[in-house]
Amino acid sequence: MRWTYGGEWAGSGGLMNLNNPTYVMGHRNPDADAICSAIGYAELKRERGHASCVAARCGNSNARIDAILRRFHTPLPQFLGDVTPRVRDVMVRDVKKVHAEAICAEALEMMDAHDVRVLPVVDDGDRLLGAVTIFALGDYFIPKPKQERRLRHVFTSLRDIVRALHAETVALFDEDREEDLYVRIGAMDIRSFGRDYATNADLAKSSVIVVGDRYDIQQKSIQAGVRMLVITGGLPVEDDVVAMARERGVSLIISDNDSATTSWIIRSAGRVSAMVQKDVLRFDPGEKLALVRRRIAARRDAPAYMVVDENERLVGIFTKTDLLKPSPVNLILVDHNELSQAVPGADQVNILEIVDHHRLGNPPTQQPIFFINSPVGSTSTIVADLFRKEGLQPSPSTAGVLMGGIIADTLNLRGPTTTSTDADCLGWLEAIAGCTADDLATLIFSSGSLILSKSAEDVVRTDLKVYEEGGIRFAVSQIEELGFDNFWTHKESLDEAVSTLRDQENLYFAALLVTDINTQNSLFLVRGNEEFISQVTYPQKESSDVFELHGIVSRKKQVLPFITTTLRSLGVIAPNGGAPA
């Protein structure tokens, strides 16, 4: 018997299951490019034959994303807020189990048929009562030395003995009564057989006699009034023996097995409820595997672990071996490559590809992956360019969505990160989508103010990116507005939200970059380490602690390099980006 619950996952070798869905996802708190490039790249992968690829998101939408998707009749990608591996990802759902009223013979047959060593025990409502193991059954059938009496004893009913033996019934009396019975084989000489019965009638009434074609033993057993006579070998029974048994109320059955096997099987007619281990570990399907591993680390005696729902109904089972199974979740990251920005749990699943246009902060992977990192204005540009280079064409709706990603990230080709590739791809997509870039830009940038439509906390987290340099963490959030009037009106609440973000995430500092699409200027609100803030060299707005960034619109290409340079000058991070010596 293998030391696993079942064998269907054996030999996985750590390889991922490519039949599972592959989620194409942007970063947390996604902007338009993160959503649009995910939709476009998922379609490109499907065109290449990867039918399991689906676009997903790990954050909420916003007014501009909604405007783009609504314009091109494209649904918002499915929400996947956490991909951390959980019990439901590794548990066996087709559980082999037994009812509390099952007999040991049925449990043993199931263990043998399915090659398992533990069976959950449930009630009529499928609620978990415990488990019965091959070890408990072994202890029952092979007692310790000086426990010979247990080898003959069984607490059961005559009907259950018939079930265990699949026996032919000749006569049964009071067959449903559960009672203590003792199995004896009628193999001795007739002169010594049954001596104790003459002086102990109760002993006879609790005896099950197993005998072959020994006519004399059969008769003497019936005369003594034994509880049951079992004829073995499938042999016929003389008519006068049958008549005598019925007359004296002795139950009589015929077993096809030999006497030794029959006596062993009779003992297996006991109910499994008598040997149920009730203190089995129970887990919820949603529990994280990392926590489960710690919880069971010290449990060396448990062959399997049960999974139950909120009503204690059995829904699955798993073993320690199952915890070694590869994660069923496959990810393709777009518009980011840093784990601090990825969906929670990304570091514990299979990252297959990365398509991005930001700085490198790439996560470790278990095997080589396909990685594109191109210095263009948007990830949607990279996706569109891949379509072109492979001689493929996105659907008109997806072409429009990709246009939206490019326009939003490059401020309609006016931002400092814009390249000729962005312009070429945008022009190519216009012809497919049947929409001009200027018309779409007007729709996107007039789709509403985030400051007016969201709470200050949501504004700060809408397009938030957390970075890590030299062991410190900081965050920069960016929003785009038509002018700064709304910012100044809500400056106090935004200031408080940035401070709260810094405290909640334990950051070195947190900042909000507010960009005016019309003037291509930005405001920079930063809260946190005072030494860093004192080194910000941009001018401050009169009577305000907000910095004015003239001509600055790109967090990636303009603000982030300034931040890292300042941190190096302060000695907070080393010149190579690591922690200072």
Other beta carbons within 10 angstroms of residue 386's beta carbon come to: 18
Q: Which among 104, 101, 174 has a CA at the least distance from the CA of 132?
A: 104
462 CB-side CA count, 13 A: 25
**Where do the domains of the chain lie, and which CATH numbers do they carry?**
22-85+328-445 (3.90.1640.10), 88-140+274-324 (3.10.580.10), 158-268 (3.40.1390.20), 450-569 (3.10.310.20)
pTM over 0.75: no
CB neighbour list of residue 24: distance below 8 Å, 6 or more residues apart: 38, 41, 42, 45, 53, 54, 55, 56, 331, 332, 334
Q: Which token pair is 313?
A: 């109904």
Q: Check residue 16 and give its pLDDT.
A: 42
Q: Check residue 498 and give its pLDDT.
A: 97
Q: Which residues of the chain fall short of a pLDDT of 50?
A: 1-18, 581
497-536 pLDDT per residue, tens: 999 999 999 999 999 999 998 888 999 999 999 999 999 9
Q: Check residue 300 and give its pLDDT.
A: 66
How far is 118 from 490, CA to CA, in rounded Å? 63
| % of the chain surpassing 70 pLDDT | 92
Q: Check residue 5 and give its pLDDT.
A: 37
Q: Is 161 helix (H, G, I), strand (E, B) or coil?
A: helix
Continuous segment of H or E residues that includes residue 293: helix 289-296
Q: Check residue 368 and give its pLDDT.
A: 86
Q: Check residue 301 and give its pLDDT.
A: 67
78-136 pLDDT per residue, tens: 999 999 999 999 999 999 999 988 888 888 889 888 888 899 999 999 999 999 988 87
Q: Which residues pair with 528 in a beta bridge?
A: 509
Q: Is 165 exposed, middle or buried (0-12, 13-18, 19+ CB in 10 A)?
A: buried
Q: Check residue 578 and give its pLDDT.
A: 60
